[in-house]
Structure 1
Amino acid sequence: MTSSSRPLAARERVALADLLEELGPDAPTRCEGWTTAHLAAHLVTRDRRPDTTPGFALEATPVGRPFAAWSHHVEDRLRAGSRYADLVARVRSGPPRWLPAAWPPVSAVVDTAEYAIHHEDVRRARPGWTPRALPRGDQDRLWGNAVLFGRLAAGGVPGALVLRRTDVPGVERRYRSGTPETVVAGEPLELLLWASGRRDVARVTTG
Structure 2
Amino acid sequence: MTTYSAADVIAAERTALVGTLNEAGPAAPTLCEGWQTRHLLAHLILRETQPLVAAGVMGGPLGKRTERLTNEYAQQLADPASYRLAVQKFADLPGYGGMRKRWPVADAAMNTLEYLVHTEDVRRATGDLSPREVPAETQQKIWDDVRSRGRLLAGKSYPEGLVLEAPGYSPSTATIQGPKPGKVATVLSGQPAELVLYLFGRESAARIEVS
TM-score computed with the length of structure 2 as normaliser: 0.84
- Asked if structure 1 preserves the Cα contact closer than 8 Å seen for 2:129 and 2:205, the reply is no
Closer, same or farther in 2 for the Cα pair 1:150/1:201, shift >3 Å?
farther
Superposition misfits of 4+ residues, deviation over 6 angstroms: none
Match of 1:191 among 164, 188, 195: 195
Match of 1:176 among 175, 178, 184: 178
Match of 2:68 among 69, 73, 77: 73
1:102-141 alignment to 2 at 5 Å?
103-141=103-141
Query: Gaps spanning 5+ residues in structure 1: where?
Result: none
The alpha-carbon deviation at position 20 of structure 1 amounts to 1.2
Which deviates further from its counterpart, 121-130 or 34-43? 121-130
Partner SS, residue 125 of structure 1: helix
How many residue pairs match? The answer is 198
The alpha-carbon deviation at position 81 of structure 1 amounts to 3.2
Query: Gaps spanning 5+ residues in structure 2: where?
Result: none
CA RMSD after TM alignment: 2.2
Residue 32 of structure 1 aligns with which residue?
33
Counterpart-to-counterpart distance in 2, 1:84 and 1:38: 10
**What is the percent sequence identity of the aligned residues?**
33
2:43 maps to 1:42:
yes
Residue 153 of structure 1 aligns with which residue?
154
TM-score computed with the length of structure 1 as normaliser: 0.85
Partner SS, residue 66 of structure 2: helix
Partner SS, residue 95 of structure 1: coil
Closer, same or farther in 2 for the Cα pair 1:16/1:169, shift >3 Å?
closer
Q: Deviations over 1:130-150 (max 9, x none)?
A: 112322210111113323144
Which deviates further from its counterpart, 185-194 or 75-84? 75-84
- Asked if structure 1 preserves the Cα contact closer than 8 Å seen for 2:129 and 2:207, the reply is no
Task: Indicate the structure with greater helix content.
Answer: 2
